[in-house]
Amino acid sequence: MPSSLIVDGYNVLNAWPELRRLIRTAGLKGARTELIRYLSTYQEYTGVEVTLVFDGRKKGVAGLGKASGDEPIKVVYSKEGETADTYIERLVYQSDEPGSIQVATSDRQLKLIVLGMGARQIPSRGLEKEVLTTIEEFEQEYLLNNLGHRNQVSSRNLVSTHKCPEILRGYEQEHIVKPEYGQKLEERIDFHALPRFLEKKERPGGKKTSVSSSPQLYDLSPIRSSKAEDIDLNMLDSYLQKVYNRSMDEIDISLIDILKNTEILTDHKPGEVSTVAGLLCFGKNPQQYLPQAVINMACYEGEEVIDQIEIKGTLSDQIENGVGFIKGNSRFSISDFRWYPEEVIKEILTNAVAHRDYSMTDSAIKVLLFDDRLEFYSPGRAGLAGRAGLAGLLLGRMRVKEVVNRCFLRNPTIANFLFLQGFMTRMGSGIANIKRELREQGYQEPELFQTETEFAVRLSAQLL
């Protein structure tokens, strides 16, 4: 990563769709302020020194020919008779280390000049993607590693007014505060109170009540023959301590209300029963009621099966044991290459268990390890799934780029449990993470395809 970033201000303003719309509604000043806010947050999270250069000849710019000292980043307005391009060229020319500078512009002439001087260049739309992705990743990491409430909040809801669907289980909208200029993340969100679904509720007569929701998705469906005793309370207690820094004893509602409010249990006559999500994530023996919820793995040498296993247990157990099986059957030598990045395997397995169709009672997840490839098959048509990426295809084939942008979710409660446990880094980033990891380690891109009843991912053992 470069140590400094120089941004061609008006070129970027006219390239980012959100900022172009803002120019029409709030004028140039409003759009400049929003860009400064994005870049200030980017600088804060990455440590890259940002210089934002505007053409001082534009109308409505105060303080021409000097840098503003009122912003977190360095904002420069070129002086009279000098364009922003000329100013940027001069900054690069005067640098002792032009290779440490990256210039954000889509101006062809400026691009050729700075590249000729030894600097790097990123297109204006490329900067948009880099900034938004970086902000979201760092804020998710902050939420996961530093706060008691490890819930998912999109950076677009934190640093701008742009809205997109989010999973805010137990994290009410009033916790998100509209940011004042220059506020840090920890100043914009209230992280101190327990989430609403773990707070004690009182009816007018003083009686406690729970706040569980009615099942509308399959992962919230009741398992009619199950009971509260099927839930592993030690596992639940560890989860609550990890995610909310509270044990069950420290939460001032009954155990049944904790189980119902977290949607592990649901009401079903004559009492409470487990939900599909609750049993899969916290059950003592999930396969007693959901025998299809397993991963069948096989390792081949040529056409012969040399190792196979049926992996049971909770979804977190299945992910960890699945990674272990693949690692145990992988080889890496000069003459025999069959090895895959562990993070990629874990990401694919996580998305497979999170987004498979559990209503297909005659199908299990299949993982097949061959001499030259690794294949994953997850039951279900992919058009109904998606935010974590791997099951984000519509019916039939679709380009990987389209998969990443899809926002469908088949099992939101399961996905949320896995996210809070740290198996998912960020909703919607599965394919992007896999592509990046494979590219960085020299592998080919994953192949995604849809069969009649399964969504599949194929990894090649061949390096680029």
> Coil, helix or strand for 442?
coil
> Is the domain of 81 the same as that of 39?
yes
Q: Kindly indicate the confidence band of residue 207, based on its pLDDT and cuts at 50, 70 and 90.
A: very low
> Is the domain of 279 the same as that of 354?
no
At residue 207, what are phi and psi to the nearest 5 degrees? -85, 145
pLDDT reading at 84 higher than 50: yes
Most confident residue range from 40-49, 226-235, 399-408: 226-235
pLDDT, tens only, 439-463? 887 888 888 888 888 889 999 877 6
What is the C-alpha R_g of the chain? 26
End of a domain among 193, 208, 226?
Answer: 193
**Distance between alpha carbon 225 and the CA centroid of its chain, in Å?**
35
Please report, as a single letter, which amino acid is at residue 206: G
> Is the domain of 30 the same as that of 177?
yes
Q: What is the pLDDT of residue 338?
A: 57
> Is the domain of 273 the same as that of 302?
no
End of a domain among 245, 261, 288?
Answer: 288
> Is the domain of 279 the same as that of 419?
no
> Is the domain of 59 the same as that of 188?
yes
Pick from 410, 411, 386, 235: nearest CA to 317 = 235
> Is the domain of 284 the same as that of 383?
no
> Is the domain of 223 the same as that of 260?
yes
Cα–Cα distance for residue pair 413/335, rounded to 1 Å = 45
pLDDT, tens only, 356-366? 999 898 899 99
pLDDT reading at 387 higher than 60: no
**Distance between alpha carbon 361 and the CA centroid of its chain, in Å?**
29
Please report, as a single letter, which amino acid is at residue 408: F
Pick from 345, 346, 391, 361: nearest CA to 294 = 361
Cα–Cα distance for residue pair 21/12, rounded to 1 Å = 13
Q: What angle do CA 52, 54, 55 make, to 5 degrees?
A: 155
Q: Kindly indicate the confidence band of residue 59, based on its pLDDT and cuts at 50, 70 and 90.
A: very low
Q: How many helices, marked H, and strands, marked E, lie in the chain?
A: 15, 16
> Is the domain of 302 the same as that of 381?
yes
Q: What is the pLDDT of residue 222?
A: 93
Pick from 350, 167, 358: nearest CA to 278 = 358
pLDDT reading at 302 higher than 90: no
End of a domain among 141, 163, 193?
Answer: 193
CATH number for 357: 3.30.565.60
Copy the structure tokens of residue 142: 């902050």
114-130 core/surface letters (b: 16 or more CB in 10 A; e: else): beeeebbbbbbeebbeb
> Is the domain of 145 the same as that of 182?
yes
The angle that helices 315-328 and 342-355 make with each other, rounded to 10 degrees, is 140
Dihedral, CA atoms, 20, 22, 26, 31, nearest 10 degrees?
-80
Q: What is the pLDDT of residue 245?
A: 83
Cα–Cα distance for residue pair 407/389, rounded to 1 Å = 8
> Is the domain of 132 the same as that of 22?
yes
Average pLDDT over residues 361-382: 89
**DSSP characters over 156-196:** HHHHSS-------TT--GGGBPPPPTT--HHHHB--SSPPG
pLDDT reading at 342 higher than 90: no
pTM beyond cutoff 0.75: no
Listed range (80-94, 155-169, 226-240) with the worst mean pLDDT? 155-169
Domain with 437 in it: 295-460
Per the rule left: phi > 0, alpha: psi between -120 and 50, beta: everything else, 396 is: left
pLDDT reading at 368 higher than 90: yes
> Is the domain of 333 the same as that of 247?
no
Average pLDDT over residues 164-177: 31
* Number of domains the chain contains: 3
pLDDT, tens only, 255-288? 898 898 889 999 887 789 999 999 999 999 999 9
* Cα→Cα distances 370→22, 141, 306, 375, 450, Å: 52, 35, 10, 8, 20
Q: What is the pLDDT of residue 308?
A: 94
